[in-house]
């Protein structure tokens, strides 16, 4: 059985072994390159999705901050309106106080004669007529 092995020189067996090992390695490298291409394509796709998500997140954060600023402005305007309304109520109350006092004086004063004439006389006196 070993006789047919001796028909070929040993350097040829070494060359044959190197060719077989190199061929196997080439097949392995080729397979790994295909896997690398697939993984690289998947990674590129994932990176694209990640970039889109980050951009969307940035846009949403900007919109939220704009909305918060708008809400703060609206709250400030509402507070200003409330303050003006309170001031207007206080002013109206002060102005009406004089009229209330005049009306109370009219009711308390009793002059003789016709009630309508007496009221007209007091009103004219109050108005300076």
- The per-residue pLDDT for 113 is 55
For 94-111, what is each residue's pLDDT tens digit? 888 887 777 777 666 655
Torsion sign, CA atoms 43, 49, 55, 61: negative
Dist. CA 92–CA 86, nearest whole Å: 10
For 47-81, what is each residue's pLDDT tens digit? 888 889 999 999 999 999 999 999 999 999 999 99
- Which has more pLDDT, 56 or 128? 56
Domain ranges of the chain: 13-127
For 24-53, what is each residue's pLDDT tens digit? 999 999 888 989 999 988 888 888 888 899
């Amino acid at each position: 059985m070993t006789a047919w092995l001796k028909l070929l020189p040993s350097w040829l067996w070494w060359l044959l072994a190197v060719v077989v090992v190199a061929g196997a390695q080439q097949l392995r490298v080729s397979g790994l390159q295909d896997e690398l291409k697939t993984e690289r394509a998947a990674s590129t796709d994932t990176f694209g999705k990640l970039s889109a998500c980050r951009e969307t997140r940035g846009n949403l954060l900007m919109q939220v901050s704009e909305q918060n600023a708008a809400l703060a402005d609206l709250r400030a305007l509402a507070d200003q309106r409330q303050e003006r309304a309170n001031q207007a109520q206080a002013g109206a109350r002060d102005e009406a106080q004089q009229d209330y006092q005049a009306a109370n004086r009219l009711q308390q004063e009793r002059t003789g004669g016709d009630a309508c004439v007496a009221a007209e006389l007091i009103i004219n006196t109050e108005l300076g007529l």
